[in-house]
């Protein structure tokens, strides 16, 4: 480390305490830490926006689908219209169940009232729910990881920056506040950026995780109700 250069930068009377000035004056390692945290923060907000939009759209589509489902119309027509090429999770669950039920019904001599048929239908819905929820939960682990690690990454930048500052102060043999303050401020800046990235991540992970769990329960509830409807219809046909 070039202590003479660092010391001269630390003691510069025109040292800026603005955010941009602190970034420019910081050590290269601190700069890299801050840049990584800023990129992570931007990505976190992009994920938050995408998840909030996806959940709202999924609930809106589910409301519309349930209105059609419970309107008393033909399930076969609903399947032909939405179930064959579903564009939202609830339609996918419905399509998986109806598709399995229809394939069994087309088998010559098959008894669609058998328990094995209902189990296959339930299994098809469960697999579909799991697949759809895995798709909706994509990148949630990133939110959790940033929420857990960003403060420590920022703390690493702070520790490194303080070590750099103290080394430069020792080279100058001057502990005047005007000399010490810029170096300490730029070191603490890394911790602040770490918190800026971590706090939204933790809050969003908890809030979005709750919404996803609620939506998964909604899909499971729909699957249970639809399974009961198919069971009644198969028993009536038997």
Decide if pLDDT at 84 tops 80: yes
Picking from 234, 231, 159, 152, the residue whose alpha carbon sits closest to that of residue 193 is: 152
pLDDT at residue 144, rounded to an integer: 96
Mean pLDDT of the chain: 84
Least confident piece of the model among 10-14, 16-20, 102-106? 10-14
Q: What is the distance between the alpha carbons of residues 170 and 183, in angstroms, rounded to a whole number?
A: 13
The structure's pTM equals: 0.82
Burial state string for 197-216 with b = 16 or more CB within 10 A and e = fewer than 16: bbebbbebbeebeebbeebb
Decide if pLDDT at 49 tops 80: yes
pLDDT at residue 179, rounded to an integer: 63
pLDDT at residue 16, rounded to an integer: 61
pLDDT band, very low/low/confident/very high, at 188 (cuts 50, 70, 90) = confident
C-alpha atoms less than 13 angstroms from C-alpha of 143 in its C-beta half-sphere: 23
């Amino acid at each position: 480390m070039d202590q003479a250069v660092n010391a001269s930068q630390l003691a510069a009377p025109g040292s800026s305490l603005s955010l941009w000035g602190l970034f420019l004056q910081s050590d290269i390692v601190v700069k890299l830490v801050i840049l990584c945290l800023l990129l992570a923060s931007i990505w976190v907000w992009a994920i938050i926006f995408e998840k909030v939009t996806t959940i709202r759209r999924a609930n809106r589509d589910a409301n519309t689908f349930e209105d059609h489902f419970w309107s008393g119309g033909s399930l076969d027509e609903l399947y032909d219209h939405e179930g064959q090429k579903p564009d939202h999770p609830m339609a996918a669950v419905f399509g998986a169940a109806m598709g399995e039920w229809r394939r069994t019904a087309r088998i010559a001599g098959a008894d669609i009232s058998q328990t094995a048929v209902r189990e296959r239908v339930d299994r098809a819905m469960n697999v579909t729910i799991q697949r759809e929820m895995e798709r909706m939960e994509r990148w949630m682990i990133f939110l959790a990881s940033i929420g857990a690690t960003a403060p420590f990454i920022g703390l690493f930048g702070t520790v490194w920056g303080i070590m750099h500052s103290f080394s430069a102060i020792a080279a100058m043999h001057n502990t005047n506040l005007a000399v010490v303050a810029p170096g300490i401020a730029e070191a603490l800046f890394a911790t602040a950026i770490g918190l800026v990235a971590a706090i939204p991540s933790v809050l969003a992970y908890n809030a979005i995780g709750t919404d996803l769990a609620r939506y998964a329960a909604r899909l499971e509830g729909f699957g249970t109700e639809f399974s009961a409807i198919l069971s009644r219809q198969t028993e009536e046909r038997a």
